[in-house]
Amino acid sequence: MDLDLRATLAVHGLRARPPVRRRAGAGPSDDGHWSLGGGGGAATLPIVEDSPFELRESGVLTRDGVVVEDALLEPVLRPRFYDLTTADGVPYEKLARLHGTEVLATTVVQTCIRYTAEETRCRFCTIEESLRAGATTQVKQPGQLAEVVEAAVRLDGIRQVVMTTGTSNGPDRGAKHLARCVAAVLERVPGLPIQIQIEPPVDLTWIRRLKDAGATAVGIHVESLDQGVRERWTPGKASVPLARYEEAWAEAVRVFGANRVSTYLLIGLGEDPDELVAGAERLIAMGVYPFVVPYRPLEGSLAHADGVPAPDPLTLVRVTRRVAGALRAAGMRGADQGAGCAACGACSALGAVGG
Ligand code: SF4
């Protein structure tokens, strides 16, 4: 799928009823999951009921009723592990979800110190909404995750795992529980690539301990490199200075290696596009993969309540093309992360231009 169509769909979404979709929770959601024809990988696209795009049951994509010729979207089928339940009665589907075609993703702790008060909550985030809706559990136990991952690998061909977490109060910022979960999963399925996602721990030795637990890659997500944007959009996280993120990224590259570290950069928070690209280039020079994705107005988030729209597709196309060019020039491919969002690529348009 070409970049213009990929970006337009990422912004406008589509009307569709795919078998695998996700409401609320951590990261991008309110979307459906497809695989792109011609070996184009996976795509998560927002489900938007008044979108001009419609994916009909026949598989034909239309825009304002006119067939879009070069679209090939194959729905990802409901995985078999969703029908299983742990010995203590928790449906596997509440513990981990299929993302794209081959990623198992879980939020090991579904609550976050930043989310408690609106003054500190990230305005795009809905991490606790899926918990409130009863779609997930607050804390996933390492043994439960090992059980789910083993089944998802065996029954549904899962090839990598993403573990994220709400931020805890402790100096590990949630890394301790992540390390336990990584170790338990690898004991059950040795060698499976796992990415963990955390805020910079107060105690940076946790980065080494996560690597020692067996993690393949790490995401330390800043969302914006513009301090003014951070203060407006991620006021709690903005209390952690950008300099601290840089220290954490540098330590993570030292421990995990170049292009095994990534960060989300959101397009559409009001940042200057040239500065966003320049910041992405600085990250690339450090060995950190800037996973650029459009801001999604998720139902239940503060920004959605304020009516903040998704970015315009043209800005998304321009930024994505320039960042992908810088990644190619540096020889950094998302797939080389081994695990994680950059390796999956479904929530970004970078994959459409070789990022
Ligand atoms: S890019 Fe990340 S959040 Fe998006 S589908 Fe892939 S693993 Fe999930």
Tokens of 183: 């170790």
Confidence of residue 91 (pLDDT cuts 50, 70, 90): very high
Tell me what pLDDT residue 30 has.
84
pLDDT tens readout for residues 295-320: 999 999 999 999 999 999 999 999 99
Tell me what pLDDT residue 120 has.
97
Tokens of 326: 């810088």
Instruction: Strand 66-67: give its sheet, edge to edge.
Output: 53-55, 61-63, 66-67
Tell me what pLDDT residue 354 has.
78
Tell me which range, 38-52, 53-67, 172-186, is most confidently predicted by mean pLDDT. 172-186
229 CA distance to ligand 1 middle (Å): 23
355 CA distance to ligand 1 middle (Å): 15
Buried b / exposed e along 181-199 (16+ C-beta atoms within 10 A): bbbbbbebbeebbbbbbbb
Residue 219 φ then ψ, to 5°: -110, 125
Q: Is 244 exposed, middle or buried (0-12, 13-18, 19+ CB in 10 A)?
A: middle
- Counting from 1 in the atom list of ligand 1, the atom nearest the Cα of 291 is 1
**What does 252-274 look like in DSSP terms, one character per residue?**
HHHHH-TTSEEEEEEESSS--HH
pLDDT tens readout for residues 171-190: 999 999 999 999 999 999 99
184 CA distance to ligand 1 middle (Å): 22
Tell me what pLDDT residue 61 has.
92
Whole-angstrom distance, CA of residue 41 vs CA of residue 317 = 18
Average pLDDT, the chain: 94
Confidence of residue 233 (pLDDT cuts 50, 70, 90): very high
Question: Dihedral through CA 22, CA 211, CA 112, CA 227, nearest 10?
Answer: -100
Q: What integer is the mean pLDDT of 239-244?
A: 98
Site residues for ligand 1, CB cut-off 6 Å: 27-28, 44, 99-100, 103, 105, 162, 341, 344, 346-347
* Minimum CA distance residue for ligand 1 atom 7: 341
Greater pLDDT, 2 or 28? 2
pLDDT exceeds cutoff 80 at 293: yes
pLDDT tens readout for residues 141-173: 999 999 999 999 999 999 999 999 999 999 999
Longest dimension (CA), the chain: 56
pLDDT exceeds cutoff 80 at 69: no
Q: What integer is the mean pLDDT of 192-206?
A: 97
Tell me what pLDDT residue 85 has.
97
27 CA distance to ligand 1 middle (Å): 8
